[in-house]
Amino acid sequence: MKVLIVDDDALIRDSLKILIGMEADMEVVGTATNAQEALVLCKDLQPDIVLMDIRMPVMDGVLGTKLMKSQFSNIKVIILTTFKDDEYIKEAIKNGASGYMLKNQSSDSIIECLRAVHMGSIVLEKEVAQSLTSMLKEDKKKQKIKLDITEREWDVLKLVGEGLTNREIADKLYLSEGTVRNYVTMLLEKLSLRDRTQLAIYYVKNLE
């Protein structure tokens, strides 16, 4: 496994290089002080994994991740940082990072993370995973508010998303089947969707 270390702190770079270099199945092929330098090195060194800080001069880890994944799709990026910043986490994962670890983790955890990502896993440190889950819930809550649907329409949408038929929804909400059909029609119009299946998929993907 070939690893490229990217961090503007020389002590961190050197420490990680020693730590990773001690592993028989890992090789540090290079180091960089910012993501722009790392992009140049990626072309020449072709690392399997880039272990990268997030706040750096010239080019930070968020933009660096985006550019690396667009130019070298086979390279995996792990963010290793002291910052548990919600926006950084969300943007890094959205841009294709395969891991987001905090620097206060043990050396064993960092090595395990490298191996797991190399094998195809997504690795998020516990605090980061909790933050990401909270952010996703908040995003879905905001999405629900933006939909401009009534509380009753929301009830119908939720049950469609859970796979219930119109008859089952009618029984559950004490409505007539015709009324439920009308609600479904209104929801399809408001969400610009074609049919009931798309409505269910929309709920599961965006609002569940």
Q: Is 17 exposed, middle or buried (0-12, 13-18, 19+ CB in 10 A)?
A: middle
pLDDT confidence of 137, banded at 50, 70, 90? low
| Of the listed ranges 35-44, 54-63, 124-133, 186-195, the one predicted with least confidence | 124-133
Q: Is the pLDDT of residue 15 over 90?
A: yes
- Contact of 34 with 82, CB cutoff 8 Å: no
pLDDT mean over 82-87: 73
**Would you tell me how many other CB atoms lie within 10 Å of the CB of residue 66?**
18
Given pLDDT bands bounded at 50, 70 and 90, which one contains residue 185? very high
> Do 159 and 194 fall into the same domain?
yes
In one-letter notation, the amino acid at residue 53 is: D
Has residue 24 got a pLDDT over 90?
yes
**Is the pLDDT assigned to residue 42 strictly greater than 90?**
yes
77 DSSP β-pair partners: 50
Q: Are residues 53 and 154 in the same domain?
A: no
Q: What is the CATH number of the domain that holds 176?
A: 1.10.10.10
Where is pLDDT greater, at 200 or 16?
Answer: 16
pLDDT band at 95; cut points 50, 70, 90: confident
Judged against a pLDDT cut of 80, whether residue 194 lies above it is answered with: yes
Please say which residue of 108, 136, 164 terminates a domain. Answer: 136
Using pLDDT thresholds of 50, 70 and 90, give the confidence band for residue 202: confident
Banded pLDDT at 19 (limits 50, 70, 90): very high
Whether the predicted pLDDT of 129 surpasses 60: no
Closest CA to 126 of 145, 99, 149: 99
Same domain (yes/no): 128, 157: no
pLDDT in tens, 143-181: 554 677 888 998 999 899 888 999 999 999 999 999 999
How many independent structural domains does the chain possess? 2
Are residues 119 and 41 located together in one domain of the fold?
yes
Rounded CA gap, 191 and 108, in Å? Answer: 48
3-state secondary structure 106-169: CHHHHHHHHHHHHCCCCEECHHHHHHHHHHHHHHHHHHHHHCCCCHHHHHHHHHHHCCCCHHHH
Report the mean per-residue pLDDT for the chain. Answer: 86
Per-residue pLDDT at 101 exceeds 90: no
| 142 domain-assigned | no
Domain that holds residue 90: 2-136
> Domain with 110 in it: what CATH number?
3.40.50.2300
Residue with tokens 């080019």: 59
Tell me: pLDDT of 43 over 90. Answer: yes
User: What is the pTM for the complete model shown?
Assistant: 0.64
- Cα 202 from Cα 160, distance rounded (Å): 10
Rounded Cα–Cα distance for residues 208 and 203 (Å): 6
- Which of 136, 164, 185 is the endpoint of a domain? 136
Alpha-carbon dihedral angle through residues 166, 170, 172, 175, given to the nearest 10 degrees = 160
Average pLDDT of the residues in 88-99: 82
